[in-house]
Amino acid sequence: AIYVTDPNSGSTNGTYFTSLQALGYPAHNATSSPAYGSGTSYNLTGTAPGLTVTYPTDGLGVIGTNANRGLGALASPNNDPAAFGQVGKVSLGDMEISDDGLHLFVVNLYDRKVYDLTLDNAANPTTVVSTTAYLLPNPPLRNTLGGGYATTYASDTSAFYDGTKGFLRPFGLKYYHDRLYVGAVTTGEGAGAVSTKDNNTGNPEYTDLWAYVFELNADSGTWAGTPKIQFPLNYNRGTDVDTADETWRLWTDKFTRNPNRTSQVQNPQPILSGIEFDVDGSMIIGLRDRNGDQTGNANYALSATTTYNGYSFGDLLRTCLDPATQTFTLESNGTACGVTPTSGLTGLPNTTRGAYGPGGLSYYFEDA
């Protein structure tokens, strides 16, 4: 393990290892680098576990300094209203390195673009030689039944998901077989957005919350003609701390207390934060709960001094790769590629764990 004791690091997210690179990432109640801000790339080494700034991108102008935010000693409660609504919207998301070690890909959460940073040296990068920015394709608008979508990107800009009901926000990255995979969600944070939990009968219920994985050929600078996978985020996720069935909720910048347990804060908002590939080529998708970065343990709300405990409910989903068509299908009712896993504890399938997951049950039903 590498322990970084330099106080200028602040909260971070995203790593790759040749020398270890880490990205600054702002979270509510968590300090940013006092010297460099929240949007910074750091280079760390095991022989000298300090940090070197390789690509500063933040002028501390969005959420302010730690002093402006009222952040005191570690474990001290604070309000920090400036950072709460900016989680997932400013600074940097995930990062990946190309196989040759010369291209560092980073998600800019503010302008919602992916940046290709060409490095000067694969073994010990110290300088960014050039940068190329890629704007994600706009996903098509959804029909009122929720399940219909265009098979290719819409050519008519009026048919795009235009941001009135929310934004397409990227975060997760994966470099795999000379392609960059980019995960994003439509947030439903705008006026008029809705998300109705799917009951798995008849036509699917409508939602403005969707997940996407796009494929970029960085050599040619072009996106694949369709998302590699796209699916709604209104499936039943089972019970949480208030014992009621839950699903993903629309992104919000409001502090949301649990009406049944007033000392708790839960409001699961999806961030597609992780993408991995299994040995058979199947894609594994990690969904992060934005509420976990907006809240904390025994911390204040955006004002006053009552303390609350925040809860985070992420998820792990599996897809199935069809090798003939190179297309992915999301798990359904606890099954992917014809496989229904059993419990490592009991040897039983998921039928005893309740109906939660896309299409009914969950494939990774013991991931909590």
Is pLDDT of 364 > 80? yes
Residue 32 lies in a domain: yes
This prediction's pTM: 0.84
Radius of gyration of the chain (CA): 21
Same domain for 169 and 261? yes
Confidence of residue 235 (pLDDT cuts 50, 70, 90): very high
Is pLDDT of 159 > 80? no
Confidence of residue 199 (pLDDT cuts 50, 70, 90): confident
Confidence of residue 141 (pLDDT cuts 50, 70, 90): low
Same domain for 264 and 178? yes
Residue 120 lies in a domain: yes
Residue for token digits 């702002």? 26
Same domain for 174 and 48? no
Same domain for 147 and 289? yes
Domain boundary, last residue among 322, 337, 363: 322
DSSP state of 32: P
- Give the separation between CA 15 and CA 26, rounded to whole angstroms: 15
Handedness of CA 112, 116, 120, 125 (dihedral sign): positive
DSSP state of 30: -
**Which of 31-35, 286-290, 315-319 is the least confident region?**
31-35
Same domain for 40 and 175? no
Same domain for 242 and 277? yes
134 bridge partner residues: 114
Amino acid present at 221 = G
Q: Summarize the confidence of residues 206-219 as an average pLDDT.
A: 93
Handedness of CA 115, 118, 122, 127 (dihedral sign): negative
For residue 226, the enclosing domain spans 138-322
Same domain for 166 and 74? no
The predicted pLDDT at position 3 comes to 47
pLDDT, tens digit (0-9, with 9 covering 90-100), for 75-121: 788 888 888 999 999 999 999 999 999 999 999 999 999 999 999 99
Residue for token digits 């509420």? 291
The answer to whether the beta carbons of residues 286 and 253 sit under 8 Å apart is: no
The answer to whether the beta carbons of residues 321 and 280 sit under 8 Å apart is: yes
Same domain for 200 and 126? no
Same domain for 245 and 129? no
Using DSSP's 3-state secondary structure scheme, residue 20 falls into strand
Nearest CA-CA partner of 44 in 19, 10, 11, 13: 19
Helices within the chain (DSSP H only): 81-84, 290-294
Average pLDDT of the chain to the nearest whole number? 81
Residue 343 lies in a domain: no
Quote the number of domains for the chain. Answer: 2
Kind of pairing between the strands at 299-300 and 327-330: unpaired
Same domain for 284 and 211? yes
